[in-house]
Structure 1
Amino acid sequence: MNYRHSFHAGNSADVVKHALLIALVRALQIKESALTLIDTHAGCGIYDLHGDAAQRTGESAQGVVRAFAAANPLLADYRTAVRSVNAGEEPLLYPGSPRFLSQLLRAQDALILNEKHPEDALALRDAMRGIPAAVHQRDAYELWLAMVPPKTPRGVVVVDPPYEQTDERDRIATTLAAAHRKWAHGVTVIWYPLKDRAAHARWKEKLRRLGIPKFLNVEHWLYDADQPGIYNGAGLFIVNPPYAFTQDLLPLLEALRTALAPEGHKGTLKAEWLVR
């Protein structure tokens, strides 16, 4: 599956991912000690929702546009973050994960971004101009291992690949196992698209067999029954989520599910412990 950020900016998966990232980082920031935020597949940093790539799919209409139309106050922080890169109320631009993370930085925190694709890396540097962030252009999995443990007492690694390579999931599993051996208490967020339920179940079982404790799975299926051959939703694996995040998670998930449910479908958005 090829999931280049520019074609899917602001879709339902982005809404869930970024709303949960905000909640996760803020839960970690209840403590004063410094955080390093690391994004291994940072993309372009910001996206034009009226550009050719985004218009070709039109997925933002079922994502950020729905989130802006929802009245639920639990989505207010997400909407505020999107508005920060827009001049008006309507979202014409969409911030990628680097811009969401940059808004959460405190004086003691650090932001490390990586994008291997040359054109996207150039766009990322432009999007992050004036923002205190280190931008790398390296293999994402090499960087992931090289950057952990971070210099700060705590940190978060966000892994959000386009799933262009057939071995992407295997590389994630192998690198996660190695990173966990180096940094057992670190927080890791792994995003993935949902297309084939059986294939996903096999990957989930492979990750479960790694034996990493405190391993949370958040899964969003858009439709009440699988739609063969198309994008059916997305999810996150979260290693070592903080207690404050998990305690407040279920109401946020319900707000997101309600806002993003396609016409005629309720969908499901749930969290379960893969390993605990």
Structure 2
Amino acid sequence: MNYRHSFHAGNSADVVKHSLLIALVRALQRKQGALTLIDTHAGCGLYDLEGEEAGRTGEAAQGVLRALPDPNPLLDDYRAAVQAVNPGADARLYPGSPHVLAQLLRPQDSLILNEKHPEDARVLRGAMRGTPAAVHERDAYELWLAMLPPRTPRGVVVVDPPYEQLDERARITATLAAAMRKWAHGVTVIWYPLKDRAAHVRWKEQLRKLGIPKLLCVEHWLYDADQPGLYNGAGLFIVNPPYAFTEDLPPLLEALRAALAPEGHSGAITAAWLGA
């Protein structure tokens, strides 16, 4: 599955991913200690929803454009992140994870971005101009391990690959295992698309075998039954989520489910500990 960010900007997966990222970082920031935020597959940072690539799929119509008018106050932080990059009332621009994370930075926090694709890396540097982000152009999995442990006592690694390579999941599994040896208490967020349920179950079993004590699995299934061969939703593996985040999660997930359920479907969004 090729999931380059620019073709899917602002879709339902982005709404869930960025809503949960905001909630996660905010929960960690309840303590004053500095955070290092690392995005291994940063993409372009900012996307034009009326541009050729996003316009070709039109997925924002079922994502950000449904979340923005939704009245639920639990989505206010997400809406504020989108509105921050749009000077007018219309949501023409969509902030990728780099921009969302940059908006959350406190003076003591730092942001490290990585994008291997040369053209995307060039666009990313332009999009992040004026922010304190450091931008790298390296292999994502090499950078992931090289940056651990971060200089600050606490941090978050965001892993959001396009799943272009057949061995993507195997590389994530192997790198996560190595990362846990270097930084056992660190917080890691791994995004993934939901398309083939059987393949996903096999991957979860491989991750379960890593024996990570705190590995939360959040899954957003759009349809009431699988749509063969189609994108059915997306999920996040979250390693070592803070207690404040997990306590506040159920009502946020329900707000996201209600806002994003396709016409004629109730949708489902769940959170469960892997291995529980």
User: Do the structures match in fold with TM over 0.5?
Assistant: yes
1:132 aligns with 2:132: yes
Query: Are the aligned partners of 1:216 and 1:275 in contact in 2 as well (CA < 8 Å)?
Result: no
Output one character per residue of 1:35-68: Cα deviation in whole Å (capped at 9) or x when no partner.
0000000000000000000010000000000001
Q: CA deviation at 1:88?
A: 1.4
Query: Are the aligned partners of 1:192 and 1:235 in contact in 2 as well (CA < 8 Å)?
Result: yes
What is the match of residue 223 of structure 1?
Answer: 223
- Tell me how far apart the structure 2 counterparts of residues 31 and 173 of structure 1 sit (CA, whole Å): 30
Output one character per residue of 1:234-259: Cα deviation in whole Å (capped at 9) or x when no partner.
00000000000000000000000000
- Tell me how far apart the structure 2 counterparts of residues 108 and 87 of structure 1 sit (CA, whole Å): 27
Query: Are the aligned partners of 1:9 and 1:49 in contact in 2 as well (CA < 8 Å)?
Result: yes
1:210 aligns with 2:185: no
Aligned-residue CA RMSD (Å):
0.6
What is the match of residue 179 of structure 1?
Answer: 179
Output one character per residue of 1:156-181: Cα deviation in whole Å (capped at 9) or x when no partner.
00000000000000000000000000
**SS of the residue aligned with 1:76?**
helix
How do 1:154-165 and structure 2 match up within 5 A?
A: 154-165=154-165
Q: CA deviation at 1:118?
A: 0.2
Q: Which residue identity does 1:14 align to in structure 2?
A: D
Q: CA deviation at 1:69?
A: 1.8
Query: Are the aligned partners of 1:218 and 1:237 in contact in 2 as well (CA < 8 Å)?
Result: yes
Q: CA deviation at 1:90?
A: 1.9
How do 1:17-32 and structure 2 match up within 5 A?
A: 17-32=17-32
1:74 aligns with 2:74: yes
Q: List, as ranges, runs of 4+ consecutive aligned residues in structure 1 with deviation greater than 6 Å.
A: none
Query: Are the aligned partners of 1:85 and 1:94 in contact in 2 as well (CA < 8 Å)?
Result: yes
User: How many residues are paired up?
Assistant: 276
Percent identity among equivalent residues? 79
Query: Are the aligned partners of 1:38 and 1:111 in contact in 2 as well (CA < 8 Å)?
Result: yes
1:15 aligns with 2:15: yes
TM-score by length of 1: 0.99
What is the match of residue 253 of structure 2?
Answer: 253
Query: Are the aligned partners of 1:214 and 1:275 in contact in 2 as well (CA < 8 Å)?
Result: no
Q: CA deviation at 1:89?
A: 2.0
Q: CA deviation at 1:126?
A: 0.2
Query: Are the aligned partners of 1:212 and 1:275 in contact in 2 as well (CA < 8 Å)?
Result: no
- Tell me how far apart the structure 1 counterparts of residues 214 and 161 of structure 2 sit (CA, whole Å): 23
- Tell me how far apart the structure 1 counterparts of residues 131 and 45 of structure 2 sit (CA, whole Å): 12
Output one character per residue of 1:67-124: Cα deviation in whole Å (capped at 9) or x when no partner.
0121000000000010000011221000000000000000000000000000000000
Q: CA deviation at 1:11?
A: 0.0
Q: CA deviation at 1:275?
A: 3.9
- Tell me how far apart the structure 1 counterparts of residues 194 and 250 of structure 2 sit (CA, whole Å): 21
- Tell me how far apart the structure 2 counterparts of residues 168 and 63 of structure 1 sit (CA, whole Å): 25
Q: Which residue identity does 2:252 align to in structure 1?
A: L
How do 1:52-91 and structure 2 match up within 5 A?
A: 52-91=52-91
Q: CA deviation at 1:138?
A: 0.1
**SS of the residue aligned with 1:163?**
coil
Q: Which residue identity does 1:244 align to in structure 2?
A: A
- Tell me how far apart the structure 1 counterparts of residues 133 and 92 of structure 2 sit (CA, whole Å): 24
Q: Which residue identity does 2:71 align to in structure 1?
A: A
1:97 aligns with 2:97: yes
What is the match of residue 234 of structure 1?
Answer: 234
Q: Which residue identity does 1:253 align to in structure 2?
A: L
Query: Are the aligned partners of 1:112 and 1:135 in contact in 2 as well (CA < 8 Å)?
Result: yes
Query: Are the aligned partners of 1:217 and 1:274 in contact in 2 as well (CA < 8 Å)?
Result: yes
What is the match of residue 110 of structure 1?
Answer: 110
Query: Are the aligned partners of 1:218 and 1:269 in contact in 2 as well (CA < 8 Å)?
Result: yes
- Tell me how far apart the structure 2 counterparts of residues 237 and 86 of structure 1 sit (CA, whole Å): 30
Unaligned residue ranges in structure 1 (runs of 5+)? none
